[in-house]
Chains A and B, each alone.
Chain A
Amino acid sequence: MSKRPWGFVVGGLLVALLLAGVVSNYASSHPDGLDSSLLKGCTVDAEGEITGGSCPAQQERDHELADSPLADYGVRGLDNDFLSTGLSGVLGVLLTFAVGGGVFWLLRRRGAQPPTAGAQSPTADAQSTTAGPQPPADDASRAARSR
């Protein structure tokens, strides 16, 4: 068996929290490559609102969830910009890890049973039949090589 990844994952999360919670405040506030390309041909005021001209972004509409408490990477009601951006980043990292980690944990192959022995839940069974005999073979060959 290979080493467990948990120590690395915790360390990586701390780095991500630091980046999103603190370093994010020093990010460039200029429009990104997509935004700036879409504004080409239009004139824009200091607020970033289109004031004239013709450009791909002129039909842009508001986001469906523009009033979300974390919209635009800030915490609504928090006046301190530094804290607002940082806290939204920290919440975003934790939420993304929870959603992503949760989904991937539920989707993962369980144990190392051969395909015929893996028939516990109906879904797992259906998956393993579509996946065919490849994963165990793959695993075995990898394990063999790493020995």
Chain B
Amino acid sequence: MAYSDKVLDHYNNPRNVGSLDKKDPSVGTGLVGAPECGDVMKLQIKVNADTGIIEDAKFKTFGCGSAIASSSLATEMLKGKTVEEALAIKNTELVNELSLPPVKIHCSVLAEDAIKAAIQDYKAKAETPAPAATA
């Protein structure tokens, strides 16, 4: 199978690889997929509580080149967006940008799921106050 130049670029130079502190209340973590299905994505966002803007995004992905490219591109798109804007990101944007073939659409769906899961995790944390330090 031939890969698009953009997929190859993200595979060879993945953007924003890494991890943020899961316990930080300003960080939301999404972990989607399953090893037996051949792809797992971990996507994290760091949100400025005052502005609601996503200041940082990181990912790690176990999966094919298209899955790596989808999550790499997703982190690029997230940075600078508000949480609400991020929720509006659709997998089709990833498909178009990366020229994914039909057989790889599920990679973009997984990346969209990862974004939503990370935001959900962030919101859940914001609603429940951080546990008080035990004496």
Q: Do A and B bind each other?
A: no
User: Which residues of A are interface residues toward B (Cβ below 8 A)?
Assistant: none
User: Which residues of B are interface residues toward A (Cβ below 8 A)?
Assistant: none
